[in-house]
Chains A and B, each alone.
Chain A
Amino acid sequence: MTTTYPSPDLTGTAPTATTDRVITYAEAVREALAEAMAADDRVFMLGEDIGVYGGAFGVTGDLYHRFGAERVRDTPISELGIVGAAVGAALAGMRPVVEIQFSDFTCQAMDQIVNQAAKIHFMLGGAAEVPMVLRAPLGSGTGAAAQHSQSLEAWFAHVPGLKVVMPATAEDAKGLLLSAIDDPNPVIVLEHKLLYRTSGPVPEGAGRIPLGKTAVRRRGRDVTIVATGVMVSRSLEAAEQLAADGIDVSVIDPRTLSPLDDAPILEDISRTGRALLVQEAPGHVGFMAEVASRVVESSAVYRLLAPVRRLSGLDIPIPYAPQLESAAVPQVDAIIDAARSLVKDS
């Protein structure tokens, strides 16, 4: 499975492409880790099977051979201990990057993420910082069923003190991770496991992409689709097919869920008058509920030609059977149908 996605619109925020180099999302993550470790001795990795094994999804690859067992540190299966160790190492002056094998397993580490890492800077009145990154793959589509397929981004985005990033392209996977490692406080980077083997342009020497900057992936006239994670590429695919029917679609990717840069989202919705909010996670109290609230709390609400529409995963655990699994989360056809009906009904 190799798909190429268009480079994001990064007006004024990122270096422009100088080559046509195309690498996978997983390679982009690895490149960011390698560059960060090469540039700064304080950066090191902690996680399960990230060493010789190369990571459960192959993300860390050869980093163990390049940087050694001290800095690409295999851990026992003990998520709470791993994240806690990262918090402590960060307080002691290091820049740890934790890999949690599946984002579902962050449940085991919630105290250290939510009660410790997220709170320390504020709780101590700014007297200490916790410069750590937690990377974890999320999402369904691999047949791994309910305990290995969740999209828990809204949990993290709900906690003050955590920044939450969901890169949807290879270039973002690299650039956002570099910025996350730079950040003086905890950043949760949620990588979609279906994206690891997809490819995209990542210019030689591509650098940081700032946190908190929404990307406009495609500019259209009729409908604004806001999407995160793997839904970005599905929405772009839907947009191509809708274009053939004469429906011109914008696709907007917040990239950073917290803090949320909502201005480009609200501007585009004001222009098109129609908002389709697409997420893989269950809809109830999900991230797109926040986006919908921001639309109705802003002047964009006066420009709406139709009610805001959400297209989310069903409010069920992710099932195992392939037919059930794919039906549980938005697919390209569902996005097309939703966008089309939104235009037709208004």
Chain B
Amino acid sequence: MTSRLGDDAATATSTLETMWLIRRFEEAVDDLFARGLMHGTMHLSIGQEASATGTCFALRDDDAITSTHRGHGHCIAKGADLERMMAELLAKETGYCRGRGGSMHIADVATGNLGANGIVAGGIPIAAGAALGYRMQGLDRVVVSFFGDGAANEGAFHEAVNLAAIWKLPVVFLCENNKYGMSFSTEKSFAIENISERALGYGIPGVTVDGNDVEVVHATVSEAVDRARSGGGPTLVEAVTYRWKGHSKSDKNLYRTKEEIAQWRERDPILRFEAVVLERGVLDQAAVEEIRARATADIRTAVRAANAAPTPAPTTFSKPSSRPPERQP
């Protein structure tokens, strides 16, 4: 049995800190967009911090993830550098993709983030392939593929889950069911109650959990990761959660009610975890306040540093097609 994230002060602190960093990062992004200081588009995961954090905290540093267009949380929880992330969103040369990728394409292979993805379900087969690659090299790494409810209706999901199932690949398929594929609700886009039921068709375990409870997500994913690492094959985990903000900046929220959003805000995964650790006496109010303040300060620092960074010059285009082969066996 895995110990709970809120059982000791050190783990509780880093869990809470990670969730606050995700929240503050995205609030800063939201603000920068609103003030016209950031271009492009954005997809915020505010309200979903527990599924990213609980999942990534079940992984070793050398385990890997693939992520989605709503991937800031996954990226931060897997250990990405905040300044380089912010620099990428601000289209700077110091960003993770040197200004070529933006929010939807951040990868950090060094921390095991094999990439966010602008294509719904695009990262799912890649996760299966990475798991195959690690296993063929004799590495006992596990890959978690994050995707949303919308992706579970794409062919890529079905092909990848089947491949991983027949080859017993060390993958955890982590579906963040935030209730809407853009504006289309899961009630309308699925004829099944739980997306995890799809696991049955592939002969793998499937489980649906409260995605706003970071400890439950962590415990469930830990079990799935153990199974994957020990050769038991993939698991489909459905974390039921909710995005408070719109799909992207153009979203007028015509497809859902203010009441519905308010109801889910009541179930804020961060405040909920704070209440748990306070109640258990693992952290006191002062410690919690300090974590919040530190996250706010860290994000401010990241924004300031990223703003000061140089923008990429069009003369520095990376040209992969003209790059000579690096290896002559």
Contact = CB atoms under 8 A, between A and B. Distances in A.
A89 B136 contact: yes
B162 interface: yes
Contacts of B205: none
B278 to A, nearest CB: 41
A129 to B, nearest CB: 8
A129 B321 CA distance: 11
A127 to B, nearest CB: 6
B325 A179 contact: yes
A60 interface: no
Interface residues on B, range: 35 or more
A161 B125 contact: no
Contacts of A183: 325
B133 interface: yes
Contact of B109 (A91, A121, A179): A91
B126 A91 contact: yes
A93 B143 CA distance: 14
A105 to B, nearest CB: 13
Nearest to B88: A125
A80 interface: yes
B219 interface: no
Interface in B123-142: 124-134, 136-137
A88 B125 contact: yes
Contact of B128 (A40, A88, A116, A259): A88
Contacts of A204: none
Contacts of B160: 81, 84-85
Contacts of A80: 125, 155-156, 159
Contact of A184 (B96, B105, B129, B325): B325
B125 to A, nearest CB: 2
Interface residues of A, number: 49
A162 B321 CA distance: 7
A115 B97 contact: no
A76 B133 CA distance: 18
Contact of B130 (A88, A116, A182, A185): A88
Given A81-B163, A88-B125, A258 B321 contact: yes
B327 A182 contact: yes
A39 interface: yes
Interface in A90-104: 90-94, 96
A257 to B, nearest CB: 12
B216 interface: no
Interface in A124-147: 124-129
A205 B214 CA distance: 59
A129 B109 CA distance: 11
Contacts of A290: none
A45 to B, nearest CB: 12
A124 B101 contact: yes
A163 B320 CA distance: 10
Interface in B258-282: none
A87 interface: yes
A39 B156 CA distance: 33
Contacts of B128: 81, 84-85, 88
B322 A124 contact: no
A336 to B, nearest CB: 36
A120 B96 CA distance: 13
B126 A116 contact: yes
A107 interface: no
B95 interface: yes
Contacts of B122: 84, 111-112, 115-116
Contacts of A185: 320-321, 323
A122 B320 contact: yes
Interface stretch (B23-31, B49-57, B112-120, B240-248): B112-120
Interface in B85-111: 95-101, 105, 107-109
B166 interface: yes
Given A120-B115, A127-B109, A85 B163 contact: yes
A123 B105 contact: yes
A196 interface: no
A328 to B, nearest CB: 31
A59 to B, nearest CB: 22
Contacts of A162: 321
B98 A125 contact: yes
Interface of A: 39-40, 42, 44, 70, 75-76, 78, 80-94, 96, 111-112, 115-116, 120-129, 160-163, 179, 182-185, 258-259
6 contacts: A88-B133, A111-B119, A123-B100, A124-B97, A124-B100, A125-B100
Given A89-B132, A124-B107, A125-B95, 13 more contacts: A42-B137, A78-B162, A81-B163, A84-B129, A91-B130, A111-B122, A115-B122, A121-B318, A125-B98, A126-B320, A162-B321, A184-B320, A258-B321
